[in-house]
Amino acid sequence: MSELFDAVDALVASRSSLPPAEERKRLRIAHGLTLDEVAGALKVRRATVSAWESAKKPVEPRGPEREAYARLLGQLAELYPAPVPATFTSAPAPAEVETPSAGPASEPAGAPAHVTPQVLASDLVDPAPAAAPRAASNARPTSTSRRPGTRRAAPAATPAGDIDPRFENGPLAVVDVDDDGQVLAYCTGGLVLEVPAKSLPSLVEWTLKEARLGQPKLSGPGKDADPLLVLTEAALERYGLPATLTDEERLAGCLPEGHRVVKQLARAEWKLTKRGFGPWARIYRPAQGSERACVQLCIPSWDALDTRHWGEAGQLPPAELARLLGVYAVRVMTPRGSTAVTGLELMTALHPATRASVPDADGKRHSEHNPGSLGKDPVDPAPCEAPDGHPLLKDLPRFHVRGPAEKLFEEAYDWARPMTDAECTLRHLVGIDVNMAFGAGANGLNVGLGAPVHFTNPVFDPKLPGSWLVDLSHVDLSRVKVGKDKWAELDASLLPSPFTPKGERPEGPAWYATPTVAYAVELGYEVRPVEAWVRRENGRYLDGWYTRLRDAYLATMADLGVGAALAPADFLAAMDGYKDRDPELAIVATAIKATVKGGIGKLRERPRGEGWRPGEPWRALSRPTWRPDIRAAVISRTRINLHRKIVKHAVFTGQYPIAILSDCVVYAAGGPSPLDFLPYRDGKPLPGGFKLGINPGLVKHEGTQDVLWGEEVRERFNAPELNLARYIKDGTVTDVDNGE
């Protein structure tokens, strides 16, 4: 009887249902299997498996191979189900203003990302910005869409029904070559497109005409984001490009103009920006009317993805890299270069320099200044705001060193002090770190939008952004105002000054940004500026920028299991090992934070070689977003925010920090947790003090070391004021500078 049953089972298995050929290939690619691996497991030839997956003439397996093949596909289908359109809850997008056509003559203008309603992590059902599968009648003969699944779908921020048909395949694609020699474009959401292009110029043409890649504009007056292609090493080889740059090319930042691929592009009438064909190349033709023709390339093997911010992203398989970059693109914007460059471009994308005017008498619209933006023309800084070597300072004597009364110097904290005897009796040093500190410093900050105006002996106005020459040496931290008609006594020797990055008390007049001077008034002291460079045209330029990056960070951390409403102990537990839950999303979170910090730093970009000499202009000065005054204001407010919390904590607990580095503060404590020294009562933090949480401005645990470790390190390097905040995370001490 058992033999009969076996015969029946074999008969049924010989007719096992199989998915279509395209689905078979999708499942194989989703699991990262090669044709050879499948053929070896099923004991058939490689060509046989390829024939089973052929979309044109699929061959059906027979006999025992069919049963085994069906079993394999069934298991893969459970791991990688076919993507379905996601559903979202969101507010309707704001109405957009039609913009006039304006194209660059020699170099494409910065393109903003997309405009999508805000979506929180809790709103995500299927976190993938994938378009719904197209009907067969809509398929293009030269671009067959395949949807291989991934282990984790990529988060999205657009409702499935609101996908712009021009960009239905997402903002970007990773171009690779499979084992069959077919060029494939891995898009977000698991979509794969077959690429017919045989050369780089034809790849650019295909991207613009058939790939349907890109993102809608982020604001009404803006421009749609250009499609981004990420080229793997296999794709580089296919299109005649080197896998890595030579030392000479790396120093130049691009391929030589005589390279054959660069010549191919020129013959096809494609242009490159002034930066040439480098890790972040932009290939374009001058805009015709409102139609842009521009494609950006990202080449990881040429170090396009800095490992400090993108980790090992450049080593990921194509589908996973597409997922990672896709999450960043949807939540922040399509990368335009380094995270710093993208952070700066996001500012412009949210506040374009121009907008369309109302129709004139003939019904035509014209380009006009967009209120709230920095405009399209750069403005000179005040002399005190200009960094060394700026053309405004070319008449200074050679080797002249500007002091505090000549130069605005608003930087983050780098301060430390010796531990007291009482602190040495405690067991632990606990570091806490402010989440997205510079983003929180930018939020709600009033910054200048136009050129500065000079005043002599002005009355200080905290509402006017700018720079003030004022003497703050009289501010005594031993007695500070902490409320209306309420003063507190502190040990000033254990506190850093809020007015200098090194925490030293000022010795005379110095230039400060508005938030720094306003804090002196808040502490209860009179200020009398000698001079001021202020900006009457001002506004909260960075609010939208902060909000978008904050939402991107919170959504990504929520996907990693760290919610915004966790109790303190639950938050610390959730942060423990959060990067291991999804290493790719952890990279996205790191990149978002780097976008905040890098974007602020880019506001005062220094010369980058190019044969520059002091007193001569450099390339960044031609940007309206080169604004050292805005950078100084953000850093000033960030440092003041931190000092305010430190004072609140000291007044309430009598505890003082022993080291501060930028947004990291170290305290001596009796236990290893922040909860061992933060004054929580019934789960509620000190008002105005440090609070544990993932939101920008709140703090997380940075690291804990023994007090004996700190003392031993300082003794070993003969540096009693060594900044232990620099090493608190893992205790590894390198590159020590004791000030000598």
pLDDT for residue 356: 85
Q: What is the dihedral of CA 231, 233, 236, 238, to 10 degrees?
A: -120
- Report residue 447: phi and psi, to 5°: -125, 160
Residue 4 neighbours by CB distance under 10 Å = 8
Between CA 160 and CA 132 the distance in angstroms is 7
- Residue indicated by tokens 């004139």: 360
CATH number of 2-79: 1.10.260
Residue 525, both tokens: 């002291």
Classify the C-alpha dihedral 336-339-344-348 as positive or negative: positive
pLDDT for residue 289: 66
Between CA 493 and CA 504 the distance in angstroms is 10
Through-space distance between the first and last CA atoms of the chain, rounded to whole angstroms: 92
Between CA 77 and CA 72 the distance in angstroms is 9
Helix, strand, coil percent values for the chain (each to nearest 5)? 35, 15, 50
pLDDT single digits (tens) 688-713: 999 999 999 999 999 999 999 999 99
pLDDT for residue 161: 40
pLDDT for residue 152: 34
* Cross-strand pairs, 177: 183
* Cross-strand pairs, 510: 470
Between CA 496 and CA 657 the distance in angstroms is 9
Buried b (16+ CB within 10 A) or exposed e, 332-344: bbbbbbbbbbbbb
pLDDT for residue 162: 60
* Cross-strand pairs, 416: 659
The strand ranges marked E within 457-523 are 466-471, 479-483, 486-489, 509-513
The separation between CA 656 and the C-alpha centre of its own chain, rounded to angstroms, equals 33
Give domain limits for the chain: 2-79, 121-337, 383-411+442-539
pLDDT for residue 114: 34
444: left (phi over 0), alpha (psi -120 to 50) or beta: left
**310 exposed, middle or buried (CB, 10 Å; 0-12, 13-18, 19+)?**
buried
User: If you write DSSP's letter for every residue of 329-357 in order, what string do you get?
Assistant: HHHT----SSHHHHHHHHHHHHS-SEEEP
Q: Who's near 23: CB < 8 A, 6+ residues apart?
A: 73, 82
Give the whole-number percent of the chain exceeding pLDDT 90: 69
pLDDT for residue 137: 30
Q: What is the dihedral of CA 626, 632, 634, 640, to 10 degrees?
A: 180
Cα angle 732, 304, 613; round to 5: 85
Between CA 56 and CA 219 the distance in angstroms is 44
Between CA 490 and CA 633 the distance in angstroms is 27
In contact, 287 and 101? CB cutoff 8 Å: yes
- Residue indicated by tokens 């008390």: 505
pLDDT for residue 74: 87
Classify the C-alpha dihedral 47-190-296-594 as positive or negative: negative
Is residue 554 very low, low, confident or very high in pLDDT (cuts 50, 70, 90)?
very high
pLDDT for residue 7: 56
Q: Using DSSP, state whether 391 is helix, strand or coil.
A: helix
The overall average pLDDT reported for the chain is: 86
Q: Using DSSP, state whether 51 is helix, strand or coil.
A: helix
Residue 424, both tokens: 């040495």
Answer whether residue 735 shows pLDDT above 70: no
- Residue indicated by tokens 């102990």: 569
pLDDT for residue 140: 33
Pairing mode, strands 271-272 and 228-231: unpaired
**N residues, the chain:** 740
In contact, 536 and 503? CB cutoff 8 Å: no
Between CA 111 and CA 227 the distance in angstroms is 10
Instruction: Tell which residue, 421, 423, 432, 419, has the closest CA to residue 675.
Output: 432
User: What residue type is 684 in one-letter code?
Assistant: K
pLDDT for residue 61: 83
pLDDT for residue 215: 95
Q: What is the dihedral of CA 52, 58, 59, 62, to 10 degrees?
A: 70
Listed range (22-31, 46-55, 438-447, 536-545) with the worst mean pLDDT = 46-55
Q: Who's near 643: CB < 8 A, 6+ residues apart?
A: 496, 498, 519
How much is the average pLDDT of 51-76?
80
How much is the average pLDDT of 110-122?
33
- Residue indicated by tokens 């069934």: 74
Answer whether residue 628 shows pLDDT above 50: yes
How much is the average pLDDT of 289-300?
88
pLDDT for residue 290: 65
In contact, 274 and 560? CB cutoff 8 Å: no
Q: What is the dihedral of CA 60, 64, 65, 69, to 10 degrees?
A: 90
Q: Who's near 545: CB < 8 A, 6+ residues apart?
A: 346, 347, 350, 442, 599
Instruction: Tell which residue, 290, 301, 85, 73, has the closest CA to residue 191.
Output: 85
Is residue 32 very low, low, confident or very high in pLDDT (cuts 50, 70, 90)?
confident
pTM of the model as a whole? 0.80
Residue 182 neighbours by CB distance under 10 Å = 11
318-331 and 583-602 helices, crossing angle to 10°: 50
pLDDT single digits (tens) 331-383: 999 999 999 999 999 999 999 999 888 887 888 888 899 999 999 999 999 99
pLDDT single digits (tens) 121-169: 333 233 333 333 333 333 333 344 444 433 333 333 333 346 788 999 9
- Residue indicated by tokens 């010795």: 507
339-350 and 543-559 helices, crossing angle to 10°: 130
The separation between CA 394 and the C-alpha centre of its own chain, rounded to angstroms, equals 36
Cα angle 45, 48, 54; round to 5: 150
